[in-house]
Amino acid sequence: MMSTEQALSSRQQAIAPIAAFAATGDMPRLENALEQGLDAGLSVGDCKEILVQLYAYVGFPRSLNALGELMKVVNERKQRGLHDEPGREPGPVPTGAELLAIGTANQTRLSGAPVKGALFEFAPAIDQYLKAHLFGDIFARDNLDWQSRELATVGALAALQGVDSQLQAHMRISRNTGISEAQLQQLVAVLRDRVGAEAADRAEAGRSRSMAP
């Protein structure tokens, strides 16, 4: 049995199903996952930030639709007399050359080493976008911690087919944020219980492969 210190909190467990159903566009199950997440202690701002970040992984249409579902859920909860914590707004994010520098540093820290390779030399624009936008504009926002962001990313990627290498990479990144191996195993179990066997199997395969030297 995992100790209390090792286990994902109820709030953390709620993140991956929200991300998974947002990624697949399953609105009925996303509605239920959002309800569970808010009940578990996620703020409205936490949920918004998770769904905003996901556009970088699953596209604007999925993200926008999921945000619309969140808005509906929050309004319906208000009508039922439930008052969810709004959460806090992010602090200021740098711009220009400073943003690129911070994004590059964030990417290196999360990945464990500078990220480079033939693909980024072939298409340098995507390297710029990853550093300045994903790891700069998004990961520099301080209203959601990096562990939560990675739980969301893993949940979304596990729900999708054909992104195995990215899922494997984010399993490694999750460890670099301080998520333990026991917590990653628990995350797989959460996906199996709340999302489905296919997502859990992909997550388990990514977790196992990410441990290979």
The per-residue pLDDT for 77 is 98
Q: Is the pLDDT score of 144 beyond 50?
A: yes
Residue 54 has phi, psi (to 5 degrees) of: -65, -20
The per-residue pLDDT for 5 is 55
Percent of the chain residues topping a pLDDT of 90:
96
Q: Is the pLDDT score of 62 beyond 80?
A: yes
Cα Rg, the chain, nearest whole Å: 17
Same domain, 182 and 193: yes
The per-residue pLDDT for 4 is 44
Q: Is the pLDDT score of 169 beyond 80?
A: yes
Give the chain's mean pLDDT.
96
pTM tops 0.75, yes or no: yes
> Tens digit of pLDDT for each residue in 99-111?
999 999 999 999 9
Overall size of the chain counted in residues: 213
Same domain, 163 and 86: yes
CB atoms closer than 10 angstroms to residue 122: 9
Q: Of 166, 103, 96, which Cα lies nearest the Cα of 131? A: 103
Alpha helix segments (H runs only) across 112-213:
118-122, 124-128, 146-158, 164-176, 181-194, 197-210
* Residue-range definition of the domain harbouring residue 135: 92-140
Interval 60-82 mean pLDDT: 98
Q: Of 158, 169, 100, 163, which Cα lies nearest the Cα of 132? A: 100
Q: Is 60 exposed, middle or buried (0-12, 13-18, 19+ CB in 10 A)?
A: exposed
CB atoms closer than 10 angstroms to residue 22: 32
Same domain, 99 and 23: no
pLDDT band of 6, cuts 50, 70, 90: confident
First to last CA, the chain: 27
Residue type at 80?
Answer: R
Q: Is the pLDDT score of 1 beyond 70?
A: no
- Does residue 110 form part of some domain? yes
Same domain, 158 and 188: yes
Interval 86-98 mean pLDDT: 94
The per-residue pLDDT for 3 is 42
Please, what is the Cα angle at 55 between 52 and 61, to 5 degrees? 105
Same domain, 118 and 83: no
Reading the block at residue 95, the tokens are 């711009």
Q: Which has the higher per-residue pLDDT, 5 or 95?
A: 95
- Does residue 78 form part of some domain? yes
Same domain, 25 and 41: yes
Interval 165-182 mean pLDDT: 97
Same domain, 80 and 98: no
